[in-house]
Amino acid sequence: MSIGQIIFILVIVVAFSIAIRNFSKIRRNILLGKDEEISGNEGKRWKNVLLIAFGQKKMIKRWIPAVLHLSIYVAFLFTQIELIEIMIDGFFGVHRFFAPYLGGLYTLIISSIEILSFAALVATFIFLARRNLLKIPRFIMPEMGGWPKLDGNLILLGEIALVTGIFMMNGADVVLQKMDPQHYPATGFLPISSVLGPMLFDGLDINIVKAIERIGWWLHLIVVLGFLNYLPISKHLHIFLAFPNVWYSKLTSRGEIENMPEIMNEVKSMMGLIPEQEVDMEAELPEFGAKDIFDLSWKNIMDAYSCTECGRCSAVCPANLTGKKLSPRKILMDIRDRATEVGRNLDTGGLKFVSEEGRAKNEQLTAKNYDDGKNLFDYITREELHACTTCNACVEACPVTINPLEPILKMRRYEVLTESAGPSDWLPMFTSIENSGSVWQVPEDRDKWAKDLLEENQ
């Protein structure tokens, strides 16, 4: 076994171990949300995954970024073939393992990757310009300062490094195929490297060209592994989560807000429709709605981790468009950041995060007794929640079927049902519905219009 193979295996083992650890933390953070059974209708779910996640159907609404994104995405998919070869070569200490077996097909695959990588490179530069020079409105909203801005740019710089690696490796290889055909099997004519390689590297010492080839190869590999480990702290996580997120997305009508059976049954028993419910006087007063991530469903938190901060939701939000503070994207980012904060604190095992009650019982820190004195309302203000018109424009806009409306409504429920708070303007509407069955307190009969109409027609 060569030293190269040993280093390769070490790097892979370390990179994958750290990645697995961090991905399982994301999974744990998602599962901090409430259980919610989401299943059934597999046919429809497969169709959604194929069309919306794999086929990017919902991206088309904004066709310029759709085409640019598609070129990076397709390049990413195709490059996986090259990545498999890199893995095989690295493990077994061979070079371009597939080349002799696939022949012309190999040339076709590598050529496709080259063309797609070039398109992806162009798209990457345009994306950088859109974010930093053109200042597309949805990329410069208040929530996009600091880390989100840097994150977006780092991903794009990473893409550039990936493509650079490929062209260094292939370009040098083309030159080496002529210098040392025994060790460098022919790849056939490659549309970019067969031109660029000889242009840049012809005439250089063979050892330098070999070094360039190795640097390209390692650069590509290291950036791929870097990406793998970067995903858990980045919006780029959508490249994985988009698929399960679309799979688990709601299939029932958008118009149906999740029913609350506990309240329905209480009202039914009040109305005498079902036998009176046993009330446990010892039990704590129930809390309704969502105060923190623990009260959201796991799917709401998965939504948050699937968000790639594209801002299509906020760009069509009527409240946001007219200068209100509400930005659906920020709601998702806040849920994600809060889940990450709770997860990080849980990892410390610090007893200061155990609730008072738990401390009294000498409990170890768990998600059940967690209390850091904060909650989602420290991230999301009431002003934001109150501005939502439930128009579903954000739901329609999201390319990975995130539903920003659900957490907003769950937090409104907490405010109104548990805290008896919320906009005071709503109180007359609530009491009027309760007392007179109408949204407005009106002294007239509900069918006065009918009597008027009959009179008008006499």
Partner 1 sequence: MKINTMAEYQSEGKKPEVLFWVGCAGSFDARAQKVTKAFVKILNAAGIDFAILGNEESCTGDPARRAGNEFVFQMTALQNIEVLNMYEVKDIVTACPHCFNTLKNEYPALGGNYNVIHHTSYLNSLLKDGRLTIEGGAFKGKKVTYHDSCYLGRVNGIYEAPRELIAALDAELVEMKRCKTNGLCCGAGGAQMFKEDEPGDKRINIERAEEIISTGAKVVAANCPFCITMLSDGMKAKDKQEDIMVHDLSELIVQAKNL
Site for partner 1 in 403-442 (CB under 8 A): 409, 411-417, 422-423, 425-426, 428-430, 433-434, 437-440, 442
* Residues of span 94-133 touching partner 1 by CB under 8 A: none
Instruction: Give the nearer residue to partner 1 in terms of CB position, either 100 or 428.
Output: 428
Please tell me the distance from the alpha carbon of residue 213 to that of residue 206, in angstroms, as a whole number: 10
38 binds partner 1 per the rule CB under 8 A: no
Q: Quick check: 205 binds partner 1 (CB under 8 A)?
A: no
Q: Which of 70, 99, 326, 331 binds partner 1 (CB under 8 A)?
A: 326
What is each CA distance from 48 to 229, 264, 311, in whole angstroms? 28, 32, 21
Residue 445 C-beta: closest distance to partner 1, Å: 6
Per CB under 8 A, the segment of 26-34, 133-141, 205-213, 389-397 that binds partner 1 is 389-397
* DSSP letter (8 states) at residue 204: S
Q: Which two tokens stand for residue 456?
A: 């008008």
CA–CA dist 232, 305 (Å, integer): 9
Q: Are 60 and 71 in contact (CB under 8 A)?
A: no
- Does residue 16 belong to the site contacting partner 1 (CB under 8 A)? no
Q: Which of 393, 398, 400, 402 binds partner 1 (CB under 8 A)?
A: 393
Which of residues 351 and 439 has its CB atom nearest to partner 1 in the complex? Answer: 439
Interaction with partner 1 in 281-310: which residues (CB under 8 A)? 288-289
Q: Is 140 in the site for partner 1 (CB under 8 A)?
A: no
Which of 257, 277, 350, 366: binder of partner 1 (CB under 8 A)? 257
Residue choice 209, 319, 342, 398 for contact with partner 1 (CB under 8 A): 319
Among 318, 363, 371, 372, indicate the residue that binds partner 1 (CB under 8 A): 318
Using the rule CB under 8 A, is 364 a contact of partner 1?
no
| Residue 208: CB minimum distance to partner 1, A | 56
Angle between helices 63-92 and 147-179 (to 10 degrees): 50
Angle at 228 between CA 329 and CA 191, to 5 degrees: 100
CB of 64 to partner 1, least distance (A): 16
CA angle 28, 246, 293 (to 5 degrees): 35
Q: Which amino acid is residue 133, in one-letter code?
A: L
Using rule CB under 8 A, residue 369 touches partner 1: no
In the complex with partner 1, the residue whose CB is nearer, 9 or 321, is: 321
238 burial type by CB count under 10 A (0-12 exposed, 13-18 middle, 19+ buried) = buried
CB of 18 to partner 1, least distance (A): 42
Q: Which of residues 59-98 bind partner 1 (CB under 8 A)?
A: 61
Q: Which is nearer to partner 1, 74 or 136 (CB)?
A: 136
Q: What is the 3-state secondary structure (H, E, C) of 71-125?
A: HHHHHHHHHHHHHHHHHHHHHHCCCCCCHHHHCHHHHHHHHHHHHHHHHHHHHHH
Q: Using an 8 Å Cβ cutoff, are 287 and 281 in contact?
A: no
Closest to partner 1 by CB, 13 vs 442, is 442
Interface of this chain with partner 1, residues 235 to 254, rule: CB under 8 A: 252-254
Q: What's the gap between Cα 410 and its chain centre?
A: 20
CB 296 within 8 A of CB 407: yes
Shortest distance, position 438 Cβ to partner 1, whole Å: 5
The candidate with the shortest Cα–Cα distance to 79, out of 109, 124, 123, is 109
- DSSP states of 170-202: HHHHHHHHHH-TTTS------TTHHHHHHHHHT
Q: Using the rule CB under 8 A, is 275 a contact of partner 1?
A: no
Q: Using CA atoms, how far apart are residues 267 and 429, in angstroms rounded to an integer? A: 19
Least Å from the CB of residue 90 to partner 1 = 47
CA-derived radius of gyration, the chain? 29
Binding residues for partner 1, total number by CB under 8 A:
71
